[in-house]
Amino acid sequence: MIFDEFPLTAAEGVMLAHTLKLGGRTLKKGRVLSALDLDLLDDEGFSTVTGARLGPDDVAEDVAAAELAAQLVGANMETRPPRAGRGNLHALAAGVLRIDAERIHRMNLLDEAIAIGTLPPHAVVRPGQVVATVKIIPFAVPRRLLDACRAIAAGAPPIAIAELKPCRAALIQTELSGMKDSIFAATAKVTRERVEALGGRLTLALRGPHRRDALESMLHQALATGCELVMMCGATVAKDRNDIAPASVTAVGGTIEHFGMPVEPGNMLVLGRIGAVPVVILPGCGRSRKSNGLDLVLPRLMAGIPPTREDIMRMGVGGLIRSAPDEGEDANLTDNDRASDLASHAAAAAADRRVTTSRV
């Protein structure tokens, strides 16, 4: 491609670099100039015009953008016709964005003429939303660049959407004496809103004393009712793999896959599994509707792409969601923590041994 200022006598077939308004007519950027266009420019007093002349191996910006976008698009996505060298990729379903970042980087590093931008990996997206964009910076790119991109994109598409699946979730809460009923009601409300925002349903809510045998009983009940996801919110935040909540998961045949995460708030989240059913032991901030580590894990679980131990450990970069709570934030959580710290095991043993169950 040759970009230059061309004399009108040599400008036929040149792509116009900038929109020109000529009396009652407008010649738009990217227009391929015809002999009639050049006569009009001459009549308006132009002697030269700035633009680009494509070579035999060049691919015009819109064609190139459409071709490159088609190389990227994966499941539950579509491309739309490009304009001015830009082609967007849209979601066809609500889901979680999956990106092979290394391959996108390789394409962007090929040449400054190619620019691919995406939403962050594992972003939650809605139908119709733009999840990635392709921009051809100049008016055209050499065919070799598109061929190089095709080679990088070979195999599984670099960008796809894992669709959020309808999910029946259970919430298990434990209590110690002195804790307020409002804490449990607020936690259930926030959890229900989180699950429903992702297309699932909180179908079972259980509440009982903060003891391992009670938790084991509630876990068995959640599994027996067909729940596909279990969230546990203890009267005290789990401090060790052998603490009450994690120990109850292993006691019923489950495993603790990872304890903690490099995300604040959310450091104390615990991820486990009982058979095929994910179990999340919530950190204290899980009671809050404000963004926290749970919001990085829950969408992936509900889209069927559970984070691995390594995935969680790599969440530290960008994992500082906020440096400190707002003053007065999570007042219920503060009450809960205070009650938990002051409560003794004797108080736990004296707590109501009846497990309260409610269907939602």
Beta strand pairing call for 77-79 and 130-136: unpaired
Q: CA-CA distance, 106 to 109, in Å (whole number)?
A: 5
Helix (H, G, I), strand (E, B) or coil at 154: coil
At residue 201, what is the residue type? R
Residue 343's pLDDT band (boundaries 50, 70, 90)?
Answer: very low
φ, ψ at 265 (rounded to 5°): -80, 150
The pTM is what? Answer: 0.86
Strand order in the sheet with 86-91: 77-79, 86-91, 130-136, 114-118
Closest CA to 198 of 319, 297, 293: 297
From residue 267, give the alpha-carbon distance in Å to each of 206, 270, 347: 24, 9, 27
From residue 127, give the alpha-carbon distance in Å to each of 73, 98, 163, 199, 306: 15, 15, 10, 13, 22
Beta strand pairing call for 20-22 and 25-27: antiparallel
pLDDT above 80 (res 335): no
Helix (H, G, I), strand (E, B) or coil at 188: helix
From residue 312, give the alpha-carbon distance in Å to each of 20, 186, 304: 53, 27, 16
Q: Which residues of 55-82 are buried (b: 16+ CB within 10 A; e: fewer)?
A: eeebbbbbbbbbbbbebbbbebbebeeb
Q: What is the mean pLDDT of the chain?
A: 91
In which residue are the tokens 């016709």 written? 81
Helix (H, G, I), strand (E, B) or coil at 64: helix
Closest CA to 51 of 21, 84, 29, 73: 29
CB count within 10 Å of CB 158 equals 24
Residue 323's pLDDT band (boundaries 50, 70, 90)?
Answer: low
Instruction: Over range 297-305, report the average pLDDT.
Output: 98
Give pLDDT tens digits for 81-108: 999 999 999 999 999 999 999 999 999 9
Closest CA to 275 of 297, 249, 298: 249
pLDDT above 60 (res 339): no
Instruction: Over range 287-304, report the average pLDDT.
Output: 97
Closest CA to 192 of 176, 165, 168: 168
Domains of the chain (ranges; CATH) run 2-53 (3.90.105), 58-163 (3.90.1170.30), 168-359 (3.40.980.10)
Q: CA-CA distance, 187 to 169, in Å (whole number)?
A: 14
Q: What percent of the chain has pLDDT over 70?
A: 89
Instruction: Over range 45-73, report the average pLDDT.
Output: 96
Instruction: Over range 25-41, report the average pLDDT.
Output: 94
In which residue are the tokens 């830009």 written? 86
CB 293 within 8 A of CB 267: yes
- State the pLDDT at residue 16: 95
Q: What is the 3-state secondary structure (H, E, C) of 95-135?
A: EEEEECHHHHHHHHCCCCCEEEEECCCCCEECCCCEEEEEE
Give pLDDT tens digits for 221-240: 999 999 999 999 999 999 99
- State the pLDDT at residue 242: 97
Residue 24's pLDDT band (boundaries 50, 70, 90)?
Answer: confident
Query: Where would I find the beta strands (DSSP E) of 262-313?
Result: 270-274, 277-281
